[in-house]
Chains A and B, each alone.
Chain A
C-alpha cells in the first residue's frame, strides 16, 4: 500500500531544497512538478543521464544503412538496367536518400523512445486526484513523495510543511 503526499512551494529554491532534503532522508520516490523545466531539478531528484541520445544515434545509423542498402540492391543487384549509360551503383546519387532516411528513423527513435521511457500516454495518475494540482502545469511548483504506511504519511506531511510548503494534500491509496 502507498499514499501520495503532495506539497506546493512558493519558490524554486524552496522546492529543490525540499527535494534534496527528502532524498537525503532516504525517500526514493521524490518528484518535483513545474510548468517549465527547472534548472537543477534532475540532480535534486537524482536522475541518471538520459538514454535518448544513444537511441537517436542508433536510429540514425540503422536508417542510413538500410536506405543505402535498399538503393544499392534495387538498382545495382536485383535488376541493374542501363540508365543513360550511368553506372548502376553510383554512390553520389545514393547519398541524399541515405541522409534523409537516417534523419527520419533517428527522429522516430527519439519520439517513440521518449514516450516509452516516460511510460506515456498515461491517462490516470494519483496526483491528478488533487484539484489544486492543476496549477502545476500553469504557474505553481509542486513536490510529490510516496509513503508506505500511515505513520510515514503523517510525518511526511509535517516535514513538507516544515520545509515551507504552502499547502500539503494527501492522496490515499484506495482500500
Chain B
C-alpha cells in the first residue's frame, strides 16, 4: 500500500515518502538510537561541552563578582540577560505550538516533527529559565519571589509582572515536560521491546512504566494527551503574553504599549519555527529521516514563518505609527531613537532579518530548497534576538530625562552567557538525538495508516 503523491492533488508533496510499513518506520526512526555513535556526533558534542564550559565560567563570575561583571548600568539596568531570556522563551514556543495547536487542528503533518519541536521547547525553556535568576543582584534570594509562609509574614508583591513570569515560565516548563513524556511513553515501550541489549531494555523499560499498548491504556492515553494539548494551547499564548507584560505594564516609552502581547506571541512562533528549521534541516539529513520529515513539512513551516514574519512586521509598523499618532514627545522620540539613534544598526538589522528576508518564501522553489530555508531560518533567529535587544536596551538607554541618558557596552560575560546557553542547548539536543527517537514512532505509524486509508478511499472512488 502506497500513499501516492496524488492523494491530494493540491498538495503533491508526500508527508511520508517511499513504500513503508510499521516495521520499516520503526527501523527508520530507531536506527539513529541504535547505531554506533558517529564521529561527527562526538565532534559536535565536545564543541557543545566546550561552550557549556564557557557558560559555567560566565555564571561563576556573575555570582562571584555580581552584575557588575556585565555591561549593565544606569539607566540600562536590563540588557543582555533579559534579551536572552525573552529570546529563548520565544524559541521555546514553537514546540508546544506545533504539538498542541496543530494537534487540535488535526494537522497531519505535525506528527513527524512534534517530538522534535517539543524537545526543543524543553531545552529552550531550560536556557531561558536561567536568566531571571542570573540577572538578580542577589540570586541566592530568588526564592523570595515565591509566596512561602514566613514568620515576618512578608509576601511577594503580585502587582509586579515578575512573579507572573515565575509562575508562567515554570508552569510552561512543567506542562511541556508532562506533555512530552506522556507522548513519549509508548515509544519507550517500543524501544524497550525492539532493543536487544539487556541494559537498554532495562533503562527504556523503566521509562516505559510497563506500557503494553493495550486498548485500555490507549483509551485513557489518547484523551489525556489531547487534554494536555488543549491546556498547552492557551498556555503557550499566555506565557509570552505575560513575558510581554514585563514591558507593557511599565511606563517607559517603547515598553508601555498594548500592542506587545499579540506582537510578542507572533514573534515567539516566528522564532520558534525558525529554530525548528535550523535544527531539523541538518538533523533529517544526518539521521536519514528524509522519508519522514519531507519537503512538505519544510514547505509548511516556511509558510508559517512567512505568515508570522508579516505579523511581526505589522507589529513594527504599528509601534511606529502609534509613536507618531500618540503625539507624545517621549514616544515619538523613542521611535526616532530606534531608527536613527546610536543603536540604529540593530533596528535595521532586525528589519532586514525579520521582515525582508522571509519574503523570499513567497516562492515555492525557495520554500522547498533546504539550503535557502536554513540560511533564512538562521537570519530570523538573529533578527529576533536583535528585536529583543532593541526593545530592552534601546528603550532604556534614552528615556525621559536627557541628563541620565547613557550608552551600553556588553562585556565578555554577557556574550559568554549568550553563546554559552546556545552551546548548552545544542549539547542537550545532541544527547536527545542520541538516546531518544527524534520522531514519535507511534504517531508516525498512526499517520501512515490514516494516509494509506485515505489513499485507498481515493483510489476506490
Contact = CB atoms under 8 A, between A and B. Distances in A.
Contacts of A61: none
A172 to B, nearest CB: 19
Contacts of A74: 147, 155-156, 158
A104 B175 contact: yes
Interface in A100-155: 100-101, 103-104, 106-108, 110-111, 113-115, 117-118, 120-125, 127-128, 134-139, 144
A44 B167 contact: no
Contacts of B216: 31, 45, 47, 118
Contacts of A32: 214-215
B26 A138 contact: yes
Interface in B17-37: 21-23, 26
Contacts, number: 192
A75 B213 contact: no
B442 A36 contact: yes
A75 B147 CA distance: 10
A30 B239 CA distance: 44
B178 A107 contact: yes
Given A37-B218, A37-B446, A47-B215, A97 B224 contact: no
A76 B216 CA distance: 48
Contacts of B245: 96
Nearest to B22: A139
B443 A52 contact: no
Given A31-B215, A107-B174, A100 B190 contact: no
A138 to B, nearest CB: 5
Interface stretch (B85-93, B204-212, B321-329): B204-212
Interface residues of A, number: 65
B168 A114 contact: no
Contact of A125 (B212, B223, B446, B449): B212
Interface string B162-190: 01100110110011001100100010011
Contacts of A106: 231
Contacts of B446: 36-37
A53 B214 contact: no
A114 B174 contact: no
Nearest to B238: A99
Contact of A38 (B26, B154, B175, B218): B218
Interface in B230-277: 231, 234-235, 238-239, 242, 245
Contacts of A144: 214
B219 interface: yes
B212 A127 contact: yes
B225 to A, nearest CB: 9
B215 A45 contact: yes
B296 interface: no
Interface string B313-332: 00000000000000000000
B222 A37 contact: yes
Contacts of B242: 96, 100
Contact of A135 (B193, B209, B219, B238): B193
B217 interface: yes
B455 interface: no
A137 to B, nearest CB: 4
Nearest to B27: A138
Contact of B234 (A78, A103, A121): A103
Given A34-B213, A36-B442, A78-B153, A93 B227 contact: no
Given A33-B214, A135-B193, 19 more contacts: A31-B214, A35-B442, A36-B449, A37-B446, A44-B215, A47-B219, A52-B220, A75-B158, A96-B238, A100-B167, A100-B238, A103-B231, A103-B234, A134-B193, A137-B186, A137-B194, A137-B213, A138-B22, A139-B21
18 contacts: A34-B213, A35-B22, A35-B213, A35-B441, A37-B222, A41-B218, A42-B215, A44-B215, A45-B216, A47-B219, A75-B159, A96-B164, A96-B238, A99-B238, A104-B175, A110-B227, A114-B220, A138-B22
